[in-house]
Structure 1
């Protein structure tokens, strides 16, 4: 393979529009082919980078196809995706949200990489994202969503124990994103999800 046919992780990150860390995660997961030189530097075939970019775009486009708002006269529930790497917190979210009687479907991801793949497969109506995670963190997932106009209808909330100063150092809370400090006030979260579900119902109501 000629030098022109391969690239560094930095170049792959530029092509894909993600961080170098994210590229490394994809390589380690075996999603993108790569190898290391004798000097320990990763080299990635450009064909593998472009194939991943093409496949991801196709999956995303398929997932974003308009879903019917009603089936047999019934409103489809709002879909919630929760990104949380702590299993105890995932269990707590499951218990709390399912106890509120909301018309929602609920699913979980343990990290940002899984979340991006899940969003590409089936775009959620509501995203609840932890921030501090290994590899692709919540900030990167949210930035990816906000940079894509096809995902503009998604409700997004960040849930984190970061202090205001730590949030500011990372760029603050993006416009249009709701922030919940941990430990989460579940009464506030319930109110937020109820409002999101009401918006979902209005969008799906027949004209």
Structure 2
């Protein structure tokens, strides 16, 4: 295979818009094809990266979109860069068989949701422009997104939440500062639910 046809985990992460750790987890789970060089460096066929992304690619190496869908996609909307780094570190340390993406605001999130339809959404509420409430309401109006697991993460008080219409039905609320043990349990449950839904014969 020509060197132009393969890439590193870093490059794959840039193409997919996810962390290097997430790419490594997808490789270890067999979702994205890869191998190691004699020096111990991972090499990934670009066709396999584009197959996971869902973009057309010739000779996609047998990596079907159905296989990619076996791994749930988590999307986090958070406008605070330090908080995004903390979420990235925490979530990737839990060994979830899931991909992880981040958006800085509601505009980015709506575009990302349209393109990739994540399985799990963690949304900050108070953001400039389109806030978390608007993103969630948009999702809940779309029947094609009805199976998405949605959680709000915010430091808003119960009174503030009530003024904004309360917590939508079916949405889970985590108060900031987030209890990461609770968030880990929630994400594990969401991943298990997704695995049951995509299992053969389900």
* TM-score, normalised via structure 2 length: 0.67
> 2:161 matched to which residue of 1?
167
> 2:67 matched to which residue of 1?
70
Pick one of 107, 117, 127 that aligns with 2:121. 127
Question: How many residues matched?
Answer: 140
Matches of 1:155 and 1:147, distance apart in 2 = 14
Pick one of 130, 133, 141 that aligns with 1:147. 141
Residues 199 and 69 (structure 1), Cα distance of their counterparts in 2 relative to 1, 3 Å cut: farther
Alignment of 1:1-207 (within 5 A): 68-70=65-67, 76-207=70-201
Matches of 2:83 and 2:119, distance apart in 1 = 21
The Cα of 1:68 is off from its aligned counterpart by 4.3
Matches of 1:150 and 1:100, distance apart in 2 = 29
**Which protein shows a greater Rg?**
1
- Runs of 5+ unmatched residues, structure 2: 1-53, 56-63
Matches of 1:162 and 1:69, distance apart in 2 = 39
Matches of 2:94 and 2:71, distance apart in 1 = 14
* TM-score, normalised via structure 1 length: 0.65
The Cα of 1:150 is off from its aligned counterpart by 1.1
